[in-house]
């Protein structure tokens, strides 16, 4: 018993020191192959395959790519890849004035049909069933009655599934909407506004039957960026005063993830409820009610500062951007550190201490027949 009493303070001190010193994530950078600062990451699936885009000199255009453990494959069909699922299917957009949406899998590229003649389609996200969402020209205003002007289209959020485009409409009084994310049940999140490029945005959740206005944190605008399979939505909202904060919409209520803090934006949420985004201090992870800067969760003294986090998978892997003091920016992949044996040993020691403490407090009662 005395040995346990002697060990307890030193063991607890060791546990505390280990927890403070050990990084929780490793950082792997994904650097551009051509021009500096010409690469951006947009997503990651549950196999750890990363989706990104880079400006290429040989094509004089942005091109999508996937990164599998450092091996890069170009997606020449896509100028901008925006979604990847666990099957490795990728969705994205090509074109300039008139854009075209694509879903690309092992069998090739499928061009999404437009909803209006010569109308644009832009893809923002993809779920594990291969359903794509984004914004597409949906209503033509030949008489100039549309808020975009004469002869312009009103673009609406859509979901593409089973080979067909489905117009999700807008919130009442709006003519423009755009979908940002879709989950495994087909629920879609995004924003709706008065007209393209103007008017207050309002975050929405479309459950397959109707579009729900998610409200704001007291200000005029909000927009949704991510949704998980439980229907939890994350995004950005204006405050009643100045500033914008990341929000989590769950159980019918919008929750401020950074009360009292500076401007923050939430970009993605996984099925464990972990949220990633960007704040004044750079990329952040929000988990179990606590928001932490990602720089504090990786090995200290490194060359790179994580400036933003845009995607997180169900394994907790995070993708975003990191920059150094010279202004050079690269893609960043953060992976959770496996629990080392020393941690398990220390936790085991704590368990022993806990059992000993319970025995001292209540004793051990033997039951005999």
The per-residue pLDDT for range 198-212, each reduced to its tens digit, is: 889 999 999 999 999
The structure tokens 């929780």 sit at: 24
Q: How many CA atoms lie within 13 A of 226 on its CB side?
A: 27
Classify residue 106 as left (phi > 0), alpha (psi -120 to 50) or beta.
Answer: alpha
CA-nearest of 62, 48, 128 to 311 is: 48
CA-nearest of 200, 150, 126, 125 to 170 is: 200
**pLDDT: which is higher, 164 or 368:** 164
Determine how many CB atoms are found less than 10 A away from the CB of residue 339: 10
According to DSSP, the residues that pair with 161 across neighbouring strands are: 164
Classify residue 288 as left (phi > 0), alpha (psi -120 to 50) or beta.
Answer: left
**pLDDT: which is higher, 31 or 351:** 31
Which burial class, exposed, middle or buried, applies to 154 when counting CB atoms under 10 A from its CB (0-12, 13-18, 19+)?
A: buried
Tell me: pLDDT of 30 over 60: yes
Domains of the chain by start residue, with CATH: 1-22+341-369 (no CATH), 25-339 (2.130.10.150)
**Residue 172 phi, psi dihedral angles, 5° rounding:** -55, 130
- pTM given for the model: 0.84
Query: Given strand 61-68, what is the order of strands in its sheet?
Result: 39-44, 50-56, 61-68, 71-75
Tell me: pLDDT of 15 over 50: no
The per-residue pLDDT for range 282-308, each reduced to its tens digit, is: 999 999 999 999 999 998 878 999 999
Q: pLDDT category, 107, cuts 50, 70, 90?
A: very high
Determine the distance from the C-alpha atom of residue 124 to the mean position of all C-alpha atoms in its chain, rounded to a whole number.
Answer: 12
pLDDT attached to residue 275: 98
The per-residue pLDDT for range 145-192, each reduced to its tens digit, is: 544 444 588 999 999 999 999 999 999 889 999 999 999 999 999 999
Tell me: pLDDT of 8 over 60: no
Tell me: pLDDT of 10 over 60: no
CA-nearest of 6, 144, 15, 55 to 329 is: 55
Determine how many CB atoms are found less than 10 A away from the CB of residue 119: 17
Determine how many CB atoms are found less than 10 A away from the CB of residue 363: 8
Q: What distance in Å separates the CA atoms of residue 126 and residue 118, rounded to the nearest whole number?
A: 23
Q: pLDDT category, 344, cuts 50, 70, 90?
A: very low
According to DSSP, the residues that pair with 154 across neighbouring strands are: 139
pLDDT attached to residue 355: 36
**pLDDT: which is higher, 74 or 260:** 74
**Least-confidence region, from 83-97, 164-178, 341-355:** 341-355
């Amino acid at each position: 018993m005395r040995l346990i009493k002697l060990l307890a303070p030193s063991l607890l001190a060791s546990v505390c020191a280990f927890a403070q010193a050990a990084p929780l994530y490793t950082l792997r950078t994904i650097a551009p192959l051509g021009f500096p600062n010409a690469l951006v990451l947009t997503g990651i699936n549950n196999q750890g395959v990363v989706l990104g885009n880079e400006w290429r000199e040989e094509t004089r255009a942005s091109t999508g790519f996937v990164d599998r453990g450092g091996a890069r494959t170009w997606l020449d069909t896509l100028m901008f890849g925006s979604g990847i699922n666990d099957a490795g299917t990728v969705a994205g957009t090509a074109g300039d004035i008139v854009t075209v949406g694509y879903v690309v899998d092992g069998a090739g590229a499928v061009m999404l049909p437009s909803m209006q003649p010569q109308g644009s389609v832009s893809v923002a996200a993809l779920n594990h069933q291969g359903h794509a969402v984004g914004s597409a020209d949906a209503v033509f205003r030949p008489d100039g009655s549309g808020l975009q002007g004469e002869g312009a289209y009103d673009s609406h959020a859509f979901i593409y599934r089973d080979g067909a485009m489905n117009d999700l409409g807008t919130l009442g009084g709006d003519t423009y909407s755009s979908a940002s994310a879709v989950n495994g049940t087909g629920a879609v999140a995004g924003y709706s506004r008065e007209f393209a490029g103007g008017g207050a945005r309002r975050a929405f959740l479309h459950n397959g039957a109707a579009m729900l206005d998610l409200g704001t944190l007291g200000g005029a605008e909000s927009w949704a960026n991510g949704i998980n399979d439980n229907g939890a939505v994350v995004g950005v909202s204006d405050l009643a005063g100045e500033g914008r904060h990341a929000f989590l919409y769950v159980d019918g209520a919008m929750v401020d993830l950074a009360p009292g803090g500076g401007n923050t934006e939430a970009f993605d949420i996984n099925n464990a409820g972990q949220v990633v985004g960007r704040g004044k201090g750079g990329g952040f992870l929000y988990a179990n009610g606590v928001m932490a800067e990602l720089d504090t969760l990786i090995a200290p003294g490194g060359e790179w500062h994580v400036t933003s986090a845009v995607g997180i998978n169900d394994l907790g892997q995070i993708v975003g951007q990191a920059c150094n003091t010279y202004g050079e920016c690269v893609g960043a992949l953060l992976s959770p550190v496996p629990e080392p044996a020393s941690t398990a040993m220390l936790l085991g020691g704590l368990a022993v201490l806990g059992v000993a403490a319970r025995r001292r407090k209540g004793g051990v009662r033997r039951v005999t027949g």
